[in-house]
Each structure stands twice: as C-alpha cells, then as structure tokens.
Amino acid sequence: MRVLSAMQPSGQLHIGNYFGSMLPNMARATKAETSVYFIVDLHALTTVQDPALLRQFRMDALKDYLACGIDPTRSIVFFQSDVPEHTELAWILSTVTPMGLLERAVSYKEKVEKGIQASVGLFTYPVLMAADILLYDADVVPVGKDQKQHVEIARDIAVKFNNAYGETFVLPEPEIQANIAVVPGTDGQKMSKSYGNTIPLFGSEASIKKAIMGIVTDSKGMNDPKDPQSCAIFQIHKLFLSASEAQALAAEYASGLPYGEAKKRLLLTYMDHFAPLRRRREALTEADLRDVAQNGAKRAREIAGRAMERVCKAVGLR
C-alpha cells in the first residue's frame, strides 16, 4: 500500500498543523509499504508571490518534515517543482476535467472570498493536486476535512480518464482521521495562520512564550474554580498528556489553579516536548537538505516517469 502526504510551504508550522495533520499522517504512513511526502511549492505560488519568502518557506517546510521525524531513508521526500511530471500530468488531466467539477470546489470560493486573487492557477489547483496523487498510484491520502473534496475530485478525474482511455490510474481514497481534535488558537477559535492566533512549533522561545502567555481566558478570579473544557490553555495542554495526566490536570483547574500558573506549566511542557525536535532541526545543514531533496526527487521521478509513460501511451502521445 502506498500512502501519500503533501504540505504547502506557506508559512510557519503551528501546533494545529502538527497535531491535526503532521502527527496523524506520520502515524498512518508508518503502516504503509511506501510513503511519499512532498512540499507542494507549485501550489504555494497561488498565494505566495514573493520569491524571497517562498524560498524561505520551502526550506522551512523541508526542515519541518525532517525535524518532526520523517525519515528520508524510509520515505520519499521531495519538492513538487523538482519533479516536472506533476505539471505535465496536470495538463493532460485538465483536458478530461469537466469545468463543472472545478466550479463546485468550495476551497476556491473560500479563498477568493478571503481576498486571494482569482487566478487560473487557483481555479485549476485541484487538477495539479490530482496529478500529485495519481502519479504515485497512491491508495490512501490522509487529509483534514478541508481537503476531502480535493481528493474526491482527484478520484473523479481518475475515473474520467480511465473511462476515456482504459484503466490507467489507481483510484485514491481520502482518509479522514475522525478522532482528530481541532486545536484551539490563543483566542479560543480554531488555530489558523489566517486568524493570527497560532503558537509556532519552531519559533523562538520568546515568541512561543508570548503566544502562550497571551492565551485569552475568562474573567474568573485567581483561585476560583475553572472549567477546563472551555479553557483554551487546558485544551492545548491536554494534547501533550496521557488520559490520566489530563484528568489530574483537569481536577486542578476545578479546584482553582490560577490561569497564570496554568500557562507557565503549559510553556514548560511545550518546550520540553518539542526540545528533541528543535535540536534535530537546528542540526540540519544546507548540505543535508540538498541531499534529501535531490535524492527524493530522483526516487520520485522514477515512479512518476513510469506513470507518465503509461499516460502518454494511453492518450496517443507515444
């Protein structure tokens, strides 16, 4: 079985991404025969149009993958733009993709409503994503709810192609991990880059401290009983704890743990928990990153090249 996972290099990784996507995807991929991880820098061009920033985000994303424990000797790790087969296949797929399929994509509408430029690339984003998936014969694509429709579109495009040209593609399944908690941000809403309420995974200690100490709380007095269920500090802290540790902490909230103290404890747990990841990230050299990306792209191109041969033959380009 082949599991495929991809991430946009579009900013600093936060703990919502880590607990909501990175960690469950890694857990899923360890059960697979092959796992493919890549950084979709071509997709990022739909929103990041500052070259210096994109360069930075690409490198950060690769460091994030490796720091979080993705092992490039066991998985294939690469940048999308290093494998030109992605854009080649996207073009061919676009010729069998009905306009209506893309017109129904909610993510496009949501992005345009948020003020992102309604470019052709933003509109055909799901076709490039379909190419990402179909090139690798991925059976399983673990994604968050927001990406489910995109994987379904990839599947619909594969069906269209197979019907037109004969069995060519494996039909991918989106896999939504149902029990994943939505991580609250420092204001209690869903943590998201676009709400400015994130706690960065690998930011400076000062920026993490500032974010944690700034978590919004209600106006209960210092030693009043607190409700852990409605408290963002507790909901975040819980992510680092076993069930019994979380229960014990909840009991302390109920008996009046002051919010200031609760935040200090969260900060300690946070720094401790991510210390090994931070060390791994800091030890990465430019040469390490280059080796991983080059070797990953080479391995990816072997698979993607075979898929393109199949596709080109099927449509009559060979």
179 makes contact with ligand ADP (CB under 6 A): no
Q: How many residues bind ligand TRP (CB under 6 A)?
A: 12
Binding mask 52-81 for ligand ADP (x = CB under 6 A): ------------------------------
CA distance 116 to 23: 29
- Choose the contact partner of 43 out of ligand TRP, ligand ADP, none; CB within 5 to 8 A by kind: ligand TRP
278 makes contact with ligand ADP (CB under 6 A): no
Binding mask 32-71 for ligand TRP (x = CB under 6 A): --------x--x----------------------------
Tell me the CA end-to-end span of the chain in Å, nearest whole number: 29
182 makes contact with ligand ADP (CB under 6 A): yes
14 makes contact with ligand TRP (CB under 6 A): no
Return the SS3 of 39. strand
Measure Cα distances from 42 to 6, 9, 46, 157, 231 in Å: 12, 9, 8, 20, 39
- Tell me which of 3, 4, 32, 157 binds ligand TRP, using CB under 6 A: 4
CB atoms within 10 A of CB 171: 13
Return the SS3 of 7. strand
Q: Label residue 113 left, alpha or beta by phi (over 0 means left) and psi (-120 to 50 means alpha).
A: alpha
- Choose the contact partner of 47 out of ligand ADP, ligand TRP, none; CB within 5 to 8 A by kind: none
Nearer to ligand ADP, 157 or 239 (CB): 239
Q: Which residues are identified as catalytic? A: 111, 190, 193
8 makes contact with ligand TRP (CB under 6 A): yes
Q: Using CB atoms, what's the residue nearest to ligand ADP?
A: 20
4 makes contact with ligand ADP (CB under 6 A): no
Dihedral over alpha carbons 45, 49, 53, 58 (to 10 degrees) = 10
CA distance 99 to 140: 26
Judge whether 277 and 68 are in contact, CB under 8 Å: yes
- Tell me which of 4, 6, 17, 36 binds ligand ADP, using CB under 6 A: 17
- Tell me which of 36, 157, 191, 208 binds ligand ADP, using CB under 6 A: 191
Nearer to ligand ADP, 73 or 194 (CB): 194
What strands lie across the sheet with 2-7, from one edge to the other? 76-79, 34-39, 2-7, 140-143, 173-176
Binding segment for ligand ADP (CB under 6 A), chosen from 13-21, 51-59, 219-227, 289-297, is 13-21
Considering only CA atoms, which of 25, 41, 38, 7 is closest in space to residue 140?
A: 25
Q: Rule CB under 6 A: which of 94-153 touch ligand TRP?
A: 129, 132-133, 141, 143, 147, 150
